[in-house]
Amino acid sequence: MDHQDPSFPSRRSALLLAAGGLLAGGLPAPAFAVPPAPPRKVLLVVRVEGKSLPIDQKIQQYLAARGYAVTLHSQYAPVDAARDADLVILSSTIRSHDLLGAYRHVPVPLLTWESDLLDDLAMAGKRAGTDFGTVEKDRYVWLVNAPHPMAAGLPAGVVDVYEKQAPMNWGKPGLGATIIATLHGQPEKAAIFGYEKGATMDYESLAPARRVMFFLDNETFPNLSAAGLKLFDAAVDWALKSR
């Protein structure tokens, strides 16, 4: 066995001395890689058998490109899948009279653009055409709450949200809602609004988690303008930030 010269430090000691010298010289300690956070999970509830499924798939692909893990979920599949999600989105391609209030009490954030579900979700009253509905042709909203994160940094006033005129869904929320935008010229019809967790919705119901209404219709997602797409992103992001 070789005997090490006692006048020389061991290899381990030499390494420690070298590291100490580097740190003493003001250089930073070696960085340790932080594993990336897992993607947020979005459950996109759709009518799988419907003719508008390709539009829902475009929304799935768009959100996936933004870094979300998106699962297309049939409206007839068990609601329990929502409990493992960070956000539930109810597309307007579903059959509302089949879904009704199935997702009303899920304790995770929820976003929808199906106006016919607003009463079933306790997000608006029950009178069709008064508390919720659809306009057949429009392309503008009136942004009334520019400081809110869901306004996407856009200035208050008229915003062109579609490339061309198309249907828009709307609702008349309860007093606990934060209204972001209304239909242009129709201030009683909210195009974008949200409830914080615990806020009073309609029928004195408390929001189990954040709830958001957006103005899209079955096939209008590809028709969003640049500003409309910013508002869509902001609605999704605001809902998710409560998780």
> What pLDDT is recorded for position 8?
40
Q: Measured between alpha carbons, how far is residue 55 from residues 13, 61, 87, 187, 226 in Å?
A: 64, 10, 19, 29, 18
* 98 part of a folded domain: yes
In angstroms, rounded to a whole number, what is the distance separating the alpha carbons of residues 104 and 88?
11
pTM value is 0.85
* 231 part of a folded domain: yes
Contact 234, 143 (CB under 8 A): no
* 4 part of a folded domain: no
Tally of CB atoms within 10 A around 226:
9
Contact 57, 50 (CB under 8 A): no
β-strand pairing of 166-171 with 132-138: antiparallel
* 149 part of a folded domain: yes
Do you know the residue count of the chain? 243
* 177 part of a folded domain: yes
In angstroms, rounded to a whole number, what is the distance separating the alpha carbons of residues 73 and 53?
11
Q: Which of 94, 86, 120, 58 is nearest to 236 (CA)?
A: 86
* 213 part of a folded domain: yes
The secondary structure of residue 95, as a DSSP letter, is: -
> What pLDDT is recorded for position 16?
40
> What pLDDT is recorded for position 89?
98
CATH number of the domain within which 173 lies? 3.40.50.880
In angstroms, rounded to a whole number, what is the distance separating the alpha carbons of residues 209 and 239?
9
> What pLDDT is recorded for position 22?
38
Phi-psi region of 40 (alpha: psi -120 to 50; beta: other; left: phi over 0): beta
Here the contacts of 33-38 (C-beta below 8 Å, separation 24 or greater) are 38/69
Phi and psi at residue 115, to the nearest 5°:
-65, -30
* 201 part of a folded domain: yes
Residues with pLDDT less than 50, the chain: 1-25
Contact 45, 89 (CB under 8 A): yes
In this structure, what token pair is assigned to residue 231? 């508002």
Tally of CB atoms within 10 A around 144:
17
> What pLDDT is recorded for position 243?
60
* 209 part of a folded domain: yes
> What pLDDT is recorded for position 160?
98
Element (H, E) at 232: helix 226-240
Q: Measured between alpha carbons, how far is residue 227 from residues 51, 155, 170, 231 in Å?
A: 27, 11, 18, 6
> What pLDDT is recorded for position 181?
98
User: Burial of 176 by CB count in 10 Å (0-12 exposed, 13-18 middle, 19+ buried)?
Assistant: middle
> How many independent structural domains does the chain possess?
1
pLDDT digits (tens, 9 = 90+) for 29-76: 555 677 778 999 999 999 999 999 999 999 999 999 999 999 999 999
Domain interval for residue 236 = 41-240
